[in-house]
Structure 1
């Protein structure tokens, strides 16, 4: 009788964030073991649920990163947009290589922030990490998700709870928004099934919704679900952001306004065997 193979151990950077809280339970449901690096182990249990191992520390602590990667077979690399992004993620990549991790998945920027280079601080930072990861020779998958519904459209749900207008930072540009749950579903497959999928899906996986919508269409959907006439107007610049993040957001708005986020790919359908969740589905759940 052959001994049953031990379940993979996935190191997860960013496991307590918006995407990580979706990703960790999905990995556990697939039978993987998960180790989450967190600065707040006491609070993190409520965020990620039972079953995950919690490792104290953060991405600015190389010793904590190295310790958390010991014994890991897979690694998921995600960190917030910040000036330290490159240094933090390169430290994870190097520690993963040194620890003998066999497969890495990096959550990168939207494809239009990286291609062509030189148009986005965020995209250029992610490009540096992608190139360094490729140079290690580690088997890996890079995920480049488009604008997230939960981020880009979550705001309008709040706006509709207090009024009859929604705001757009990029005019009438069309965007192929993607649901964060689809990003998490793809990330699970990239982590646990990536080597099998890579021959048919080489290069970065560009993740989008199946259809690009403008705010006229989104306002019409909102009107249907609320039963009210909904208008849209230009958004004011967000306040309280650091100069770096404010510049990144301004670059995003300019590129999206130029139509950079309109293209739709079939990557989600090819990876998951189903169509991506739609904006209509998202708004129906939030407003219905």
Structure 2
């Protein structure tokens, strides 16, 4: 029986990393969490993960963090230096003898075709570097996250009976971040076929695409109130995004995402989650039951 993987998780204290680390530990993996915020890693250490403090711009930190590691989960925030930083990590992983990399990439519709998204083009460049590295790997391309795009539903319903929808109320195949984490575990434990040096990315979506009218109907059932969805104007949406973005660069990235979503690019549904996990993806209704109605999932 082969020994369990020794996995370096980058982005370990973020939204997905905090879901992924306990799942890997439960599967018996050895986990080291790379973080710039050691205090935020206390909970991960308490669960049994080791930690390495530093960032992608510090070559010495990367070399130390990768010592003795067999697998790497590659994730970092969107920044203007995303491609350079992640490619440096891939090169460091190759030098350290890492056997397998799982990369959390951008949504499929931001990457293909090229030239439609700053972050998508960066992820495309990183994926190309990963293929050139010769390291066995799997790329995950998740669709719009429920925990991001639907996070404001609870606060909007607390303020009234109206949900603000994107212009045109496009349908979106939202995916629960917990499904992304579950698939990431399987990708890290995956035994690749010998001929599969550069496998196709796994495109991850929910099981169906919903518009905000449908989300409002779900919210109505859960709350017992009449909830309506009101599409924002394009100008109002841009103003909201600019106000919430931490930098002009991120505001531009978010505007590109929004335009692609309005164009229907986030609507297609894939079967990958069900194929990998052997169960259907979590639903928007289940997510809203937790966040809006306060129900604990079974």
Judge same fold: TM > 0.5, yes or no: yes
- Equivalence for 2:251: 246
Instruction: Give the drift of 1:147.
Output: 0.2
Mapped pair 1:214 → 2:211: yes
Question: Does 2:106 align with 1:106?
Answer: no
Tell me what 1:273 maps to. Answer: 278
* Corresponding residue to 1:226 among 201, 204, 223: 223
Counterparts in 2 of 1:149 and 1:187: CA distance versus 1, 3 Å: same
Over 3 Å counting, the alpha-carbon distance change for 1:67 and 1:21 in structure 2 is same
* Matching of residue 141 in structure 1 with residue 138 in structure 2: yes
- Change in Cα spacing, 1:73 to 1:139, as seen in structure 2 (3 Å) is same
Rounded to whole Å, the distance in 2 between the matches of 1:47 and 1:169 is 36
Q: 1:47 and 1:5, CA in 2 relative to 1: closer, same or farther beyond 3 A?
A: closer
Bigger mean CA deviation after superposition, 242-251 or 157-166 = 157-166
Q: Distance in 2 between matches of 1:270 and 1:100?
A: 30
**Aligned positions, number:** 284
Q: Does 1:237 align with 2:234?
A: no
- Counterparts of 1:283 and 1:49 in 2: how far apart (Å)? 30
Flag as ranges the 4+ runs of structure 1 deviating above 4 A.
196-199
State the match for 2:296 in structure 1. Answer: none
Select between 183-192 and 160-169 the one with higher mean Cα deviation.
Answer: 160-169
| Structure 2 partner of 1:94 | 91
CA contact (8 A) 1:24 1:48 kept: no
Structure 1, unpaired ranges of 5+ = none
Query: Quick check: 2:45–2:51 contact (8 Å CA) kept in 1?
Result: no
Q: Which residue of 2 aligns with 1:8?
A: 5
**1:22-41 residue pairs with structure 2 within 5 A?**
22-41=19-38
Aligned with 1:161: secondary structure?
Answer: helix
Deviation at 1:198, TM superposition (A): 9.1
RMSD: 1.8
Q: Which residue of 2 aligns with 1:286?
A: 291
Cα gap change, 1:80/1:48 in structure 2, threshold over 3 Å: closer, same or farther?
A: farther
**Does the residue aligned with 2:68 lie in a helix, a strand or coil?**
coil
Structure 2: 5+ residue runs without aligned partners? 294-298
Provide the residue aligned with 1:259 in structure 2: 264
State the TM-score, normalized to the length of structure 2. 0.91
TM-score (norm 1): 0.94
Deviations 1:263-283 (A, max 9, x none): 000000110011100111111
Distance in 2, matches of 1:196 and 1:275, equals 25
SS at match of 2:47: coil
For residues 42-64 of structure 1, give each alpha carbon's deviation from its aligned partner in whole angstroms, at most 9, with x where no partner exists.
Answer: 33112564200010111221211
Q: For 1:48 and 1:231, locate their aligned partners in 2 and report how far apart those are by CA, in whole Å.
A: 44
Separation of aligned partners in 2, 1:154 and 1:276: 18
1:122-160 residue CA offsets vs partner (Å, 9 max, x unmatched): 100000000000001110000000000000111112211
Whole-Å Cα distance in 2 between the matches of residues 181 and 220 of structure 1? 24
Alignment match, 2:117 = 120
